[in-house]
């Protein structure tokens, strides 16, 4: 065992290690607060001055983290939010939780990871543990962290310990949160795995070490690609059932009674969030680098990305049946966020449905208790109608897109002249998208 490894292990065990979390979004902020609440001095670093200012004022920047928890850790001095790179010099452990989107060519954009590593390299002058949590392709941890730092003179297992531990945040989930969600961790060396495990065991109930960063990276992509493909299958079956005039929801309820060999996934208007729409594309890109074409992934992406158009087509059909043209019709979208009871608009299919209906000439309004406004494709801010004042009967068509708990379905179904239900929120009420 190297001296630096033992020093770091001792610091972690005695809570004398300083933790730096780079990126204070849905993943980073809960992680930073969790470490602070366990007694670790924690530095939260983010390049967004607005986010840092809000946090310094005791205001959380994500729904799943209360202001009270942030304020408590600020007041006791265990958490600080900063955009000053120099503060990273005080840390022993660095956890990177920055965005990893796709670029215009649908290739991984690792710009933020690269920038984070460069910041660490400029500021840190002692042995450090670096853990990447941002979702990316197999091999990225070595390419973006290990190799550049080794090339810069850092010695693996002496000055440098590198891990990948994929985030498993599920926004809005009241049952599984940071502490009780099992955490996979891979390292570039045995020493890295041991240190990474020691770190995360301070805040996570169950840590699952795996043999390499590649296994950990692949596991995250496998999890979400599995979900993407199964949702796509159900979306396709919902379209088939609609064509055959069979209720997909009753069919799913029947199939779910089998106690083995069946796992339920529900159809819907499309997929949203950062994970399900994007993670399979990382895997598909990496597969192509290895001269491998994944037909399942490509087909699933095609089906899921086409679902907003299917919803619009159904809306046009329902309006036609009511002897109304979509051009000039008043349409109300219920729900803009990609899933229930959160304010996250990332990749939300509701946005695509909104834009397509507008393009066809409809007068589109929306109601979402979690989304006060959003920017459309023309960069124009669109404001929603308050749930307390919306008059459903004034619209030619109401489309249920997000199954928010605040929506009173009996009231909506009673007042709406025409109702399009993409989430089976109004049981046994026709017309539905998938009925």
- What is the three-class DSSP state of 330? strand
Within this chain, do residues 57 and 100 fall inside the same structural domain, yes or no? yes
pLDDT band at 274 (very low <50, low <70, confident <90, very high): confident
Q: Pick the range with the lowest mean pLDDT from 1-5, 66-70, 234-238, 321-325.
A: 1-5
pLDDT of residue 161: 99
| Whole-number percent of the chain with pLDDT over 90 | 93
Whether 367 is a known active-site residue: answer no
Note the pLDDT tens digit of each residue in 123-137.
998 899 999 999 999
Per-residue pLDDT averaged across 164-188, rounded? Answer: 95
Note the pLDDT tens digit of each residue in 57-93.
999 999 989 999 999 999 999 999 999 999 999 999 9
Report how far residue 21's alpha carbon sits from residue 182's, in angstroms, rounded to the nearest whole number: 19
pLDDT of residue 435: 38
pLDDT of residue 105: 86
Q: Report yes or no on 278 lying in a domain.
A: yes
What beta strand segments (E) does 107-151 contain?
Answer: 128-132
Q: Report yes or no on 428 lying in a domain.
A: no
User: Is the confidence at residue 284, as pLDDT, over 60?
Assistant: yes
Q: Which residues contact 242 (CB under 8 A, 6 or more apart)?
A: 248, 314, 433, 434, 435
Within this chain, do residues 21 and 140 fall inside the same structural domain, yes or no? yes
Report how far residue 99's alpha carbon sits from residue 126's, in angstroms, rounded to the nearest whole number: 27
Q: In Å, what is the CA distance from 274 to each residue of 6, 108, 282, 345?
A: 37, 13, 12, 10
Which domain, by its residues, includes 175?
3-211
Note the pLDDT tens digit of each residue in 299-346.
999 999 999 999 999 999 999 999 999 999 999 999 999 999 999 999
Q: Report yes or no on 133 lying in a domain.
A: yes
pLDDT of residue 1: 66
Within this chain, do residues 413 and 266 fall inside the same structural domain, yes or no? yes
Q: Report yes or no on 10 lying in a domain.
A: yes
Report how far residue 421's alpha carbon sits from residue 358's, in angstroms, rounded to the nearest whole number: 19
Within this chain, do residues 394 and 283 fall inside the same structural domain, yes or no? yes
Report how far residue 132's alpha carbon sits from residue 129's, in angstroms, rounded to the nearest whole number: 10
pLDDT band at 434 (very low <50, low <70, confident <90, very high): very low
Mark residue 291 as left, alpha or beta (left: phi above 0; alpha: psi -120 to 50; beta: remaining). left
Beta 363-367 vs 419-421: how paired, if at all?
A: unpaired
Within this chain, do residues 137 and 22 fall inside the same structural domain, yes or no? yes
* CA-closest candidate to residue 336, choices 326, 320, 327, 347: 347
Question: What string of H, E and C letters represents the secondary structure of 18-32?
Answer: CEEEECCCCCHHHHH
Within this chain, do residues 309 and 166 fall inside the same structural domain, yes or no? no
Q: Report yes or no on 435 lying in a domain.
A: no
Cis peptide before 431 (omega within 30 of 0): yes
pLDDT of residue 172: 87
Within this chain, do residues 274 and 413 fall inside the same structural domain, yes or no? yes
Total tally of structural domains belonging to the chain? 2
| Whole-number percent of the chain with pLDDT over 70 | 98
Within this chain, do residues 259 and 114 fall inside the same structural domain, yes or no? no
User: Is the confidence at residue 431, as pLDDT, over 70?
Assistant: no
> Per residue in 353-389, is it b (16+ CB within 10 Å) or e — as a string?
bbbbbbebebebbbbbbbbeebeeeeeeebebeeeee
Within this chain, do residues 165 and 271 fall inside the same structural domain, yes or no? no
Catalytic residue among 97, 140, 241, 275: 275
Q: Report yes or no on 426 lying in a domain.
A: no
Q: How far out from the chain centre does Cα 132 lie? A: 16
User: Is the confidence at residue 104, as pLDDT, over 90?
Assistant: no
Per-residue pLDDT averaged across 189-210, rounded? Answer: 99
pLDDT band at 269 (very low <50, low <70, confident <90, very high): very high
Within this chain, do residues 271 and 192 fall inside the same structural domain, yes or no? no
Dihedral angle computed from the Cα positions of residues 32, 34, 40 and 42, in that order, rounded to the nearest 10 degrees: 10
- What is the three-class DSSP state of 87? helix
The domain that holds 134 is classified in CATH as 3.40.50.720
Within this chain, do residues 273 and 357 fall inside the same structural domain, yes or no? yes
Report how far residue 322's alpha carbon sits from residue 426's, in angstroms, rounded to the nearest whole number: 20
Q: In Å, what is the CA distance from 119 to each residue of 53, 115, 353?
A: 20, 6, 40
Within this chain, do residues 278 and 415 fall inside the same structural domain, yes or no? yes
pLDDT band at 428 (very low <50, low <70, confident <90, very high): low
Q: Report yes or no on 226 lying in a domain.
A: no
User: Is the confidence at residue 228, as pLDDT, over 90?
Assistant: yes
Average pLDDT of the residues of the chain = 95
Per-residue pLDDT averaged across 165-169, rounded? Answer: 96
Q: Report yes or no on 228 lying in a domain.
A: no
User: Is the confidence at residue 429, as pLDDT, over 90?
Assistant: no
């Amino acid at each position: 065992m190297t001296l630096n490894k033992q020093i770091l292990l001792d610091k972690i065990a005695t809570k004398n290690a300083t933790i730096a979390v780079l990126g204070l979004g849905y993943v980073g902020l809960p992680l930073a607060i969790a470490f602070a609440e366990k007694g670790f001095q924690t530095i939260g670093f983010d390049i967004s001055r607005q986010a840092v200012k809000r946090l310094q004022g005791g205001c959380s920047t994500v729904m799943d983290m209360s202001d009270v928890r942030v304020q408590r850790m600020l007041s006791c001095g265990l958490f600080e939010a900063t955009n000053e790179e120099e503060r990273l010099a005080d840390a022993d452990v660095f956890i990177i939780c920055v965005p990893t989107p796709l670029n215009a060519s649908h290739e991984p954009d690792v710009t933020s990871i690269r920038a984070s590593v460069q910041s660490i390299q400029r500021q840190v002058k002692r042995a450090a543990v670096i853990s990447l949590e941002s979702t990316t392709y197999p091999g990225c941890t070595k390419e973006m962290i290990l190799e550049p730092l080794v090339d810069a003179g850092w010695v693996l297992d002496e000055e440098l310990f590198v891990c990948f531990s994929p985030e498993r945040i599920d926004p809005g989930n009241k049952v599984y949160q940071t502490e009780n969600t099992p955490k996979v961790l891979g390292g570039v060396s045995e020493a890295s795995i041991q240190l990474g495990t020691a770190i995360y065991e301070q805040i996570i109930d169950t840590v699952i070490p795996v043999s390499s960063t590649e296994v950990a990276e692949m596991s995250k992509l496998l999890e979400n690609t599995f979900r993407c493909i199964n949702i796509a299958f159900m979306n396709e079956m919902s379209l088939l059932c609609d064509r055959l005039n069979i209720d997909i929801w009753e069919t799913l309820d029947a199939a779910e009674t089998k106690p083995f060999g069946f796992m339920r996934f529900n159809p819907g208007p499309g997929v949203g969030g950062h994970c399900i729409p994007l993670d399979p594309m990382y895997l598909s890109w990496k597969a192509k680098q290895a001269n491998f074409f994944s037909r399942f992934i490509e087909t699933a992406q095609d089906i899921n990305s086409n679902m907003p158009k299917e919803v619009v087509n159904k809306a046009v059909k329902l309006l036609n049946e009511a002897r109304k043209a979509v051009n000039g019709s008043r349409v109300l979208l219920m729900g803009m966020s990609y899933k229930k009871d959160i304010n996250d608009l990332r990749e939300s299919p509701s946005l695509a449905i909104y834009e397509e209906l507008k393009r066809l000439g409809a007068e589109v309004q929306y109601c979402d208790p979690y989304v006060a406004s959003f920017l459309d494709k023309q960069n124009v801010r669109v404001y929603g109608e308050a749930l307390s004042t919306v008059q459903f009967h004034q619209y030619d068509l109401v489309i249920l897109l997000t199954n928010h708990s605040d929506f009173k379905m009996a009231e909506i179904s009673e007042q709406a002249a025409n109702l399009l239900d993409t989430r089976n929120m109004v049981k046994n009420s026709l017309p539905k998208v998938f009925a």
